[in-house]
Amino acid sequence: MSQTLNNFEQLLEEEASTFDVHKRQQAREGIISTLSSYKLIGQLVTVFVPDMINVLIEATGGDQTTATDDEDKTPRQGQPPHLTAPPTDSGPKPDDDFDIIR
């Protein structure tokens, strides 16, 4: 049983046969170079934009904390709390308490 082409398939075959192979190759190369350019621009944006934003934040005086900064602020495990607590003004005052000790 032979298969016959309908009118749309015949039209498609005719147009494909008239399309120059050289033009098809040029179109393909143009598309590939455009997509390569978009890929390069995307990679540059991915690499440089976050660093540029961080520089702008720091230049405007913003505070940027990272995970390593947060880890440094937490008390170390196994150490007593008085070694990890920040200094306070709860100690004796030189004018008041030294006279009592003497």
- Any domain includes 82: no
Q: What pTM does this model have?
A: 0.41
- Any domain includes 25: yes
- Any domain includes 78: no
- Any domain includes 2: no
Rounded CA-CA distance 55/64 in Å is 10
CA-nearest of 96, 72, 99, 102 to 84 is 72
Tell me what pLDDT residue 61 has: 83
Tell me what pLDDT residue 44 has: 93
Encoded amino acid at 65, one letter:
T
Residues 75 and 81 sit within 8 Å (Cβ to Cβ): yes
Rounded CA-CA distance 19/16 in Å is 5
Question: For residue 58, what are the domain limits?
Answer: 7-73
- Any domain includes 98: no
- Number of structural domains, the chain? 1
Residues 98 and 92 sit within 8 Å (Cβ to Cβ): yes
Q: What is the pLDDT along the chain (102 residues), one digit of tens a residue?
A: 457 888 999 999 888 888 888 888 999 999 999 999 999 999 999 999 998 998 898 888 876 565 555 555 555 566 666 565 666 666 656 665 555 655
- Any domain includes 92: no
- Any domain includes 47: yes
